[in-house]
Chains A and B, each alone.
Chain A
C-alpha cells in the first residue's frame, strides 16, 4: 500500500525557534493535509493543500504542496509552548476521495 515517510520522528526545540518537518512518498497524492494531535485528544486539521506548488499559511504555520506531488513540508515559526504535540501529515490519492494515508507523526517538544 501507499506510505508516507515523515521526518523527523521527534524534535526538541527552545521556545522562539522555528521548526520544519516534511513528508515524502514514492506515490503521487492529490491532496496533502497537516494535522496536530494534543495529548488525549484527536487530530485537528491545521492546513489543507489541494494544488501542486501551493503554499498556504495559517498564523505561524506554513505548508507547501511539492511540485512533484510526492512531498510536503510544514514550518512553524517562533514556536511557543502550546505548539507541543504530534504533527501528522496525511495524503489523499487520486484513487480515493475519502481514504487518508497518514505519516507516522513528528513529536514536537518545546522548552520554555
Chain B
C-alpha cells in the first residue's frame, strides 16, 4: 500500500505570507494527525481528525493555523500569516485506529514538509 504522502517536501516563504501543506493519508485510515518538530525540540502534537471531524486541536499554536479534511480524505494545514517561529518540519500521520493502549495501531508518518519562514 502507498504510504502517507506530504506535499511540498520543502517550502521557503517570507514572514507574512501564506503557506498550505497537504497530506494524503494511507487509504482506509480514518485517523489523521498533524505533528510539528521545531529545530532541536521534540515532535509535538497539533491535531487529530477522525474522518472529516476534528477530534482534538488542542495542540494548534494559535489561530493563524487552520487544518481541514474535507470529505475525510486528504488534509490541508494552512498557516496565514506565517511568522518566523513557525519554521520547522510538519509531519502528517495516519492510522486505521487510534493507538490505544494494548492495541497495535501504529501511526504511519509521512516524510514531512520542511517549512522555513524568513
Q: Which residues of A contact B (CB under 8 A)?
A: 3-4, 30-31, 33, 35, 40-45, 48, 50, 88, 90, 92, 94, 97-105
CB pair A104 B40 closer than 8 Å: yes
Residues of chain A with a CB closer than 8 A to B107's CB: 45, 100
B residues 26-81 touching A (CB-CB < 8 Å): 31, 33, 35, 40-45, 48, 55-56, 59
B25 at interface by CB-CB < 8 Å: no
> What are 16 of the A-B contact pairs (CB < 8 Å)?
A30-B101, A31-B101, A43-B43, A45-B106, A50-B101, A90-B43, A92-B101, A94-B101, A97-B98, A97-B99, A98-B48, A98-B99, A99-B56, A100-B107, A102-B35, A104-B42
* Majority secondary structure of chain B interface residues (helix, strand, loop or mixed): loop
Question: A98 CA to B48 CA in the complex, in Å?
Answer: 8
* Identity of the chain B residue whose Cβ is nearest the Cβ of A50 in the assembled complex: B102
CA distance A82 to B4 in the complex (A): 23
Q: Are B33 and A98 in contact (CB under 8 A)?
A: yes
Interface size on B, residues (CB 8 A): 29
Q: Are B42 and A42 in contact (CB under 8 A)?
A: no
Q: B residues within 8 Å of A by Cβ?
A: 4, 9, 31, 33, 35, 40-45, 48, 55-56, 59, 91, 93, 98-102, 104, 106-107, 109-112
